[in-house]
Amino acid sequence: MPALWLIIEYLWAPLFVAFILTVAAVGLHEYGGMAFAEDRAARSGLMLFGLLVAASVIAGMRPWTGAALSVAVIGGLVFALFRRGDLPVAVGRLGLLLLGVLYVGFFIPHVALLRQQPEGWRWVLFTVYSAMGSDSGAYFAGRAYGRRKLLPAVSPSKTVEGAVGGLVGAAIIGALCWLIFFHELPLGETLGVAVAIGVLAELGDLCESALKRGFGAKDSGWIIPGHGGILDRLDSLLFPFVFSYYYYAVATRAW
């Protein structure tokens, strides 16, 4: 955790951006491997459009983001025209491609986007630590008190008691962040944001599990031995980072 703090606060901004773009590229590769295991053209299109969106988001170039998404939609629909004999499959794959562009290519860059803001490193750390508090609280509460299954068809090990414990854990860590370094919001609002991050962290974890089950994959990748892929590590952070960035923008009237 101290090393994470040093990286987020002090790492040279261009290196941090390069790191986030690399993470996005690996995430797109993992998603493409699950969604389009035997369709090289679809994987290439996903990588191209996803990285274009990611780069434009980090650069703050909203017109380019819109252009990249528009080209992805138009290109996918035109591609479907030439697959008339297999049109339902082609249209379904278009939906999966756009989901990957948004879920990975659009969401991941919000980490760098948040860090670029004044005192943004504090928000990044607060978001990471609150999500970690949610994960830890859910784990310990689930192990100690878990009885009722939350969504057994998606994640058999998760329980209602664990989910509640996750929210408590997020609130506790949020309060500690407020005491130590995060004074951007009043304490009550900080706790509310931490709990919201906890909810989104749990939802993100469940949604990524649902994607893997839908694709018939155990893990999104193998880049982290014993822990799966990049998406397996980021599943509880993607939703919170998007939320934190736009909450920051509203709270500070950055728009």
pLDDT at 148: 92
Q: What is the mean pLDDT of residues 150-159?
A: 89
pLDDT band at 180 (very low <50, low <70, confident <90, very high): very high
Exposed e or buried b per residue across 133-143, where buried means at least 16 C-beta atoms within 10 angstroms of its C-beta: bbbbbbbbbbe
Q: Which of 70-79, 166-175, 219-228 has the lowest mean pLDDT?
A: 219-228
Chain mean pLDDT for the chain: 88
Residues 85-108 pLDDT 10s: 677 777 788 889 999 999 999 999
Task: Identify the burial level of 79 via C-beta atoms within 10 angstroms of its C-beta, where 0-12 means exposed, 13-18 middle and 19 or more buried.
Answer: middle
* pTM greater than 0.85: yes
pLDDT at 225: 58
CA distance 80 to 89: 9
pLDDT at 223: 66
Residues 32-91 pLDDT 10s: 999 988 888 888 889 988 998 999 888 877 777 888 788 878 877 777 777 656 777 777
Question: At residue 19, does pLDDT exceed 60?
Answer: yes
Provide the greatest CA pair distance for the chain.
Answer: 62
Question: At residue 129, does pLDDT exceed 60?
Answer: yes
